Copies of this chain bind each other. A is one copy, B any other.
Amino acid sequence: MELEEAKRSSLELMETAKAAYLTTINIDGYPITRAMFNLRNKEQFPEFSEIFAGLGNKFEIYISTNTSSSKTDHIKKNPKISVYYCDPEDFKGVMFGGEVEVINDMNIKKKIWLDWWTKYYLKGLEDPDYTLLRLKPKMAQFYYRLQKVQFEPCE
């Protein structure tokens, strides 16, 4: 598989995968994985598709979460994470790795916000329990059946 094809397929998968699997490393050094909203999924989150299409780096990943969750504790100690998107029926997956950042810029947080999220963050956008994470990935691996393509996730 060619590099360009792997990148294109990775972007497609990011836009269709049912979940983003986020792995952090806990204080004892164990990887901890859980499904998160895939905000890049065009069907689930059409409101954000324009924002993601306009990103400087198309592979940038945003994840919304509760400040009080264990993952925010993990990343304070160790910001190394992976985010994985998968279509298991087609044996297709793409994984991104790097150091995650906590976004405090309210202009960005305002853009990555939906009103029904008050279900999770009772006080709304300004709720201190609303944390927005960003991964500008350093490395990427695309898997398709028996093939594996590594690429630099910046374009």
| Copies of the protein in its oligomer | 2
Interface size range on A against B: 20 to 34
Whether the Cβ atoms of B80 and A35 lie closer than 8 Å is no
Chain A's interface: helix, strand, loop or mixed, by majority? strand
What CA separation (Å) do A12 and B86 show in the bound complex?
21
Whether the Cβ atoms of A32 and B97 lie closer than 8 Å is yes
Among A23-31, A52-60, A101-109, A121-129, the stretch that binds chain B is: A23-31
Given contacts A18-B88, A21-B86, A35-B86, 6 further A-B contacts (CB under 8 A): A19-B86, A21-B21, A30-B98, A32-B141, A33-B84, A35-B88
Residues of A within 8 A of B (CB): 18-19, 21, 23-25, 29-35, 78, 80-82, 84, 86, 88-89, 91, 93, 95, 97-98, 120, 139, 141, 143, 146
